[in-house]
Structure 1
Amino acid sequence: MAKIRVSYEYSEAEDKSIRLGLFLIACGILSLFILGFCWLSPTLQSLESKAANCTVVSVLRPEEMFECVFTCGADCKGTSLYPCLQVFVNNSESNSVVLLHHNEQQLVLNPKCSFVPQCERDNQRNMENVLRWEETFTREVSNQTFTCFFNQQRRPDDVLLRRSDDA
């Protein structure tokens, strides 16, 4: 048995509609590429932190104490206190004195302090952890240049010691 071939010819209106549809699809794809390269790429780059050189200007420990939440088991939870440590550094990228933070998570937890210790049940242990960081920055790092990370658009008054993904 022979196969019957059916050929269908489009009318002029259908042909124009198909061409218009294909043209609109091509324009949409081209627009996405233009949007991605010209607008999205520079925006994403502006959100990234730039590496800068920092030097310690001053290390302060204000009298203010902050609360943190500790857990010591499934039913054991509480709050304790830790002192604030502020490390001000000179940022080579903006040539200004800014507050150093250990990482972005700690910046969000307490934007006033450079270091937020892992919360311990004992206030004295929290104090010792902060004092250890204070000693590190006053004795070992104070005269050295180190890499910090700076973002002018998101946080012009802060720098990070570590990027978020390096935490």
Structure 2
Amino acid sequence: MLLGFAMMGFSVLMFFLLGITILKPFMLSTQREESNCTTIRTHIMDDWLDCVFTCGVDCRGQGKYPCLQVFVNLTHSGQKALLHYNEEAAQINSECFYTPKCHRDGNDLLNSARDIKEFFDHKNGTPFLCFYSPDSQSEDVVLTKKYDQMVIFHCLFWPSLTLVGGVLIIGMVRLTQHLSLLCEKIQPCSQR
């Protein structure tokens, strides 16, 4: 019985935690459809953006990071759009492909931006999978979706399975107890 109640409690806790961390952001996020994109142009802006970094308890500082812009052509509409790495990157900075972790070494940040730029420059003309928002007036395009339907399925399937398993265990224990009581009632009569 304790195992069944523990499984039921654990499943309710999983529903709560996964609902807050995954299901709620998924429900609030923009629904996106698949499309193919081709790179039109990549550009590292001359003006670097400000950021704050921490490197320990007593270490804080101001830094700057390069803004990489990747312009793509959506094949479904033929429209030019700015590509973002994911929805979170689009919300943090709508002008840049992504926002790197801020730290002191500006050369390291510039080299990583150049590496990504080079990657997209080599894809020039080659279609790749991207996701767009059909409801949005401006074509907001992301390279990767944070959550897909399989993640949502697993967030609901495993807690539900644990809940059903806990209910079955409790039901089987109660059934066994009921059958043993019936057996005790029947046995004294048969012995007479």
Q: Does 1:160 align with 2:142?
A: yes
5+ residue gaps, structure 1:
1-43
The structure with the greater share of residues assigned to strand is 1
Asked which structure has the greater RCO (Cα within 8 Å, sep 6+), the reply is 2
Verify the 8 A CA contact 1:115 1:130 in the aligned structure 2. Answer: no
Show structure 1 runs of 4+ deviating over 3 A.
none
Give, in whole Å, the separation in 2 of the partners of 1:117 and 1:155.
27
Match of 1:85 in 2: 68
Give, in whole Å, the separation in 2 of the partners of 1:62 and 1:73.
30
Where do 1:33-112 residues align within 5 Å? 47-112=30-95
**2:110 aligns to what SS in structure 1?**
helix
User: Normalization by structure 1: what TM-score?
Assistant: 0.65
Match of 1:150 in 2: 132
Give, in whole Å, the separation in 2 of the partners of 1:73 and 1:128.
24
Give, in whole Å, the separation in 2 of the partners of 1:101 and 1:155.
16
The structure with the greater share of residues assigned to helix is 2
Larger gyration radius, structure 1 or structure 2:
1
Q: Which amino acid aligns with 2:108?
A: R
**Distance change >3 Å, CA 70–CA 92, structure 1 → 2:** same
**1:131 aligns to what SS in structure 2?**
helix
Q: Identical aligned pairs, as a percentage?
A: 36
Post-superposition offset of 1:62: 2.3
Match of 1:33 in 2: none
Give, in whole Å, the separation in 2 of the partners of 1:121 and 1:144.
35
Number of residue pairs the alignment of both structures matches: 121
Q: Which amino acid aligns with 1:146?
A: F
Match of 2:184 in 1: none
Post-superposition offset of 1:81: 0.8
Match of 2:117 in 1: 134
Give, in whole Å, the separation in 1 of the partners of 2:62 and 2:34.
36
**Distance change >3 Å, CA 144–CA 74, structure 1 → 2:** same
RMSD over aligned CA atoms reads 2.0
5+ residue gaps, structure 2:
1-26, 149-192
Give, in whole Å, the separation in 1 of the partners of 2:95 and 2:136.
16
